[in-house]
Chain A
Amino acid sequence: MSSAETRAKETEPAVAKVLLVEDDPLLGKSVHRGLTEHGFDCCWVRSGGEAVRSVLEDTELFDAVVLDLMLPDLTGWEVLEELRNQNRGLPVLILTALGSVDDRVRGLNAGADDYLVKPFAFPELVARLLALLRRAELQAKDVLTLDVGPLKLNLVTRVVEREGRRIELTETEFKLLEYLMRNANHAVTRRMLCEYLWDADWEGVTNIIEVHINRLRSKVDRGFRQPLIETVRGVGYALRSR
C-alpha cells in the first residue's frame, strides 16, 4: 500500500473541518492546499479577527483550528484566549516560528492542544491534526480499555492481550502501544512519540524510536500471521486494526 493511499483511507470516515489561521500568503496557500488534498475541509483566514468571527458565527462548524501566532491584527495568543472563552473543547494546534522552550510552554499553558514549530514536515502537521481530532473524540467517552482489532489494552489493570494471549510489556512499551492504539489506523510521527514518551523534542539519534518500535513489534507481532505495527514511509508508524 503506498503512503498516498494510506492517507486517503485515514481521513475517509468523516470529513474534518479545519480552520487555518495564517497570514503568510505562500505558506497559507500551500498548507491550505495540502490539507485539502489530505481530505480535510479547510477554511483559510488571514487575520485573528476573521478567525474569531468565523468561529463565533457557528461553533459547530469547525473540528480543529491551526493557528499562527504572529498575525496582523490580533495576536495568536489573543485569538486563543477568545476561542477558549467561547468554546473550551475546540482543539487548537499552534503553528508558529516562535520555537523557544518558553514559547512552547506558554502556548500549551494558554490552552493550545499542540504546538508545532515552523518549518515543519507536512506529514507531521497532518499526523498531529489527526491525533488531535482523535483525542477530542476519545475524550468524549470515558474509556478504560482500548480495543484495536485483535488487541486489547486495559488502562486500569495494564494487561495487554492479543487474541486472548497475554503480552508482557515494559512501562515504556506499554505507553508506546497505548499511544499507537489511541491513534489506531493513523500514522504517528517519531517526534510525536518522543514528546509523548520522554517529553523530549529530540531527533538526534533518530532510530531511538525505531529501536523501541522494533522491540514492541517483537512482542506484539511475533508469532502472528498479520503484523499490526506498520512503518508509514516518510511519516512514522501506525497500528492497523485489520
Chain B
Amino acid sequence: MPSARADRHWIVSLRTRLMLWNALAVLATAVATMLGLRAGVRIALVRELDQVLREDLREVELALHGRGNLDHSRVAEQLQRKAEGHADHQWFAQMFSTDGELLLTTSDQLPQELARPLPQERGELSGWRYFQRRLDTHPAVVLRVGMSTASIQRDLQRIDRLVALGVGLVLLIAPIGGFWLAGRAIRPLDAMINTVTHLRPANLEDRLKVRGTGDELDRLSVAFNSLLDRIGTYLQEHRELLANAAHELRTPLAAIRSSIEVALANQRSPQEYCELLQEVIGESAHLEALVHQLLLLSESDAERMRIHKDPVRLDAMIERAIDMFGSYAEAEGIELRCAALPQVTVRGNAQHLKQVLYNLLDNAFKYTPSGGVVSIELKLENSGWVQLNVMDTGVGIAPEELPFVFDRFYRGSRPPRSSYTVHRHNRSTGLGLSICRAIVRAHGGTITAAAGGRGGTVFCVRLPLDAGGLAPEAPAQQTSSNAAQRSGSAPHQSETPAARQASTEATRGGTAMELRSGAAPC
C-alpha cells in the first residue's frame, strides 16, 4: 500500500522526528515554567492574606484592650462594622469562650467546622483561611478572624487560563519552528541524498558539496567523496583490465580461427593438417596461460587470500627455488647467487608467495645474458619487515618505463636475451609482474622496481613479518654449494613442519651459496 508507506516514511523522516522532539522539549519547558509560576503566585497570595488577617487580629485585640468586661453587643457591633468594610473578601470574626462556646460571630454563612475553636492557631478549612488566638487581656475568650480564599482561587484561575493559552500557543509554534529549524539543519542532507541517488556505476562523476563549515555533515561529504574517488579508480582499473583482457584474448583467438579456416579451405596432406593443428594447440595454450593468470590476478586482488594466514617460511621457499632454478642457471651460464638466508616467517598464502618469487626469478633469467648474475637476498629490517630482493645484471629497464612495469599487460621495450627460448605456451602474457604486485599487496607488503647497481634491475619485495617469526641473527658461516643441494632434498614434502625444519638445518650456518657453471658437483 503506497499511502501507508508514505505515512511510515513521514513518521521515520529525520525532519519529522527532529520537529517532534523539539516540540516536546519546548512544551515540557513551558509547562514546567508556568506551573512553577502558578505555585509561586499562590504562595505569595496566601502569605499576603495571612499578613492581613494577623494585622486584623492584632487590631481587634488592641481595640479590646483596657476593657474590664467585654460588652458583647458593642464588640459585635464593632466587628460587624469591620466585617461589612471587608465584605468583598467575606471577612469574618468569631469569639469563643474557653469551653468552646461560640460567643459571637459576624457571619452566619460559615461552614459547620468553623463553629468551634480549632487546635491550630492558623490554617485553612473548606475554602476559608483563619487566625485565632486566646486574648492576652481576656484569657477566657478566643478570638478568630478569617477570610474566604475565593479571591485567591479567582486569581489562580485567571493564571490557569493564561497558562493554558501559553501552552496552546507553544503547542502551535514549537512544531512549526522545530520543523523550520530541522529543515534548515538537514537541508545539506537532502542535497546529499539527491546527489547520491543519482550516482550510477556508469557515472560516478558527481561529488557532494563541501560547504566549508567543517561540521559533521561536511566531514561526511569529504569522507563520501573520497570513497567515491576510490570506487571510481577501482572501477576504472577494472574496466581497463576487462577491455585489455578482451583485446589480449582476441589475438590468440584470431590465430586459432585463421589456422582452422586455412586448414579447411583446401585439401591438404596429413602432414600439413598436423602442422596447422599444432599451431592451434600452441595458441590454445597461450589462451590457457592468459586465462590462468587473469584468474590468479582476480584471486589475489580479492582479499580472499587474507583467510589463509598460515605461516610461510621464506628462507625454505628460496632454497627450493634455488634447487629448481640452479641447474637451469648453470646450463645457461648464468650465476645464481644467494647470500646467507636468515630464518624468516611471514603469514600468508604459500602458493601465491611462491608465485611471486618464481615470477621474479623467471623475469630475471629472461633478461640476463649468459655470463650475467642473478642474485636473491633476504634481509630482515629492524622495523618488523622483511625485504626480498631479486637482482639481475641484464639489460635493465629504461627509467621512464620503471613506473609502469607492474601495470597489467604492460610489456616493456627491453628485449629478452638472445638465447632465451620462448616455449610455445609461455609467451609473455604481460601479467606476471602485476600478479606479483597484487599478491604482495594482499599480504600487506610493497613491491618496487629500480635500476640495479651493475646495470640490470632490482625488484624489492617488502613484507610484514610474522610477529613470532623474528630471527634474532643471521647465520654468517661460509658453506659450499653442497648446502644448497642438500637443502634441496626436502622440497617435496616441505609443506610439513618437520621437513621445513630439516631444510632450515641444512642452511642454518650456511651463507653465500653460489651455483655457477661447473661449480656444483651435480
Contact = CB atoms under 8 A, between A and B. Distances in A.
Given A204-B358, A208-B324, A208-B328, A199 B494 contact: yes
A173 interface: yes
Interface stretch (B30-38, B225-233, B346-354): B346-354
B492 A199 contact: yes
Contacts of A146: none
Contacts of A171: 485-486, 488-489
Contacts of A205: 325, 328, 362, 365-366, 426
Interface string B399-441: 0000000000000000000000101011000000000000000
Contacts of B354: 200
B485 A204 contact: no
B495 interface: yes
Contacts of B331: 207, 211, 214
A43 to B, nearest CB: 27
B351 A208 contact: no
Given A171-B489, A211-B327, A212-B327, A202 B358 contact: yes
Given A198-B323, A204-B358, A204-B362, A175 B492 contact: yes
Contacts of B287: 119
Contacts of A102: 308
Nearest to A119: B288
Contacts of B485: 170-172
A121 interface: yes
B299 A100 contact: yes
A33 interface: no
Interface in B352-367: 352, 354, 358-359, 362, 365-366
A205 B354 CA distance: 15
A200 to B, nearest CB: 6
A215 interface: yes
Given A171-B489, A198-B492, A204-B426, A100 B328 contact: no
A197 B327 CA distance: 14
A101 interface: yes
B349 A172 contact: no
Interface string B318-349: 00100111011011000000000000000001
Given A101-B349, A171-B488, A198 B359 contact: no
A215 B327 CA distance: 8
B284 interface: yes
A207 B366 CA distance: 12
A180 B491 CA distance: 18
Interface string A99-126: 1111000000000000001010100000
Given A99-B295, A101-B351, A200 B489 contact: no
B292 interface: yes
B320 A198 contact: yes
A206 interface: yes
Contacts of A147: none
Interface in A198-232: 198-208, 211-212, 214-215
A22 to B, nearest CB: 18
Contacts of A172: 323, 327, 485, 488-489
Given A171-B485, A215-B522, A207 B423 contact: yes
A207 B328 contact: yes
A211 B332 CA distance: 9
A100 B491 contact: no
Contact of B324 (A198, A206, A214): A198
Contacts of A198: 320, 323-324, 491-492
Contacts of A101: 299, 349, 351-352
Interface string A14-30: 00000000000000000
Nearest to B489: A171
A99 B297 CA distance: 12
Contacts of B426: 203-206
A172 B491 CA distance: 9
B327 A203 contact: no
B285 interface: yes
Contacts of A202: 324, 358
B295 A203 contact: no
Contacts of B492: 175, 196-199
Contacts of B292: 99, 117
Given A197-B492, A200-B324, A173 B423 contact: no
Contacts of B488: 170-172
A199 B308 CA distance: 18
A198 B492 CA distance: 5
Interface string B473-507: 00000000000011011011011000000000000
A204 B324 contact: no
Contacts of B299: 100-101
Q: Which of A173, A205, A208, A214 has the most CB of B within 10 A?
A: A205
A171 B281 CA distance: 35
Contacts of A204: 358-359, 362, 426
B208 to A, nearest CB: 39
A199 B491 contact: yes
Given A200-B320, A204-B426, 14 more contacts: A102-B308, A117-B292, A197-B491, A199-B495, A200-B358, A203-B426, A204-B359, A205-B362, A205-B365, A205-B366, A206-B426, A208-B324, A208-B325, A211-B327
Interface of B: 281, 284-285, 287-288, 291-292, 295, 299, 308, 320, 323-325, 327-328, 330-331, 349, 351-352, 354, 358-359, 362, 365-366, 421, 423, 425-426, 485-486, 488-489, 491-492, 494-495, 522
12 contacts: A99-B292, A119-B287, A170-B488, A197-B491, A197-B492, A198-B323, A198-B324, A199-B491, A202-B358, A205-B366, A205-B426, A215-B327
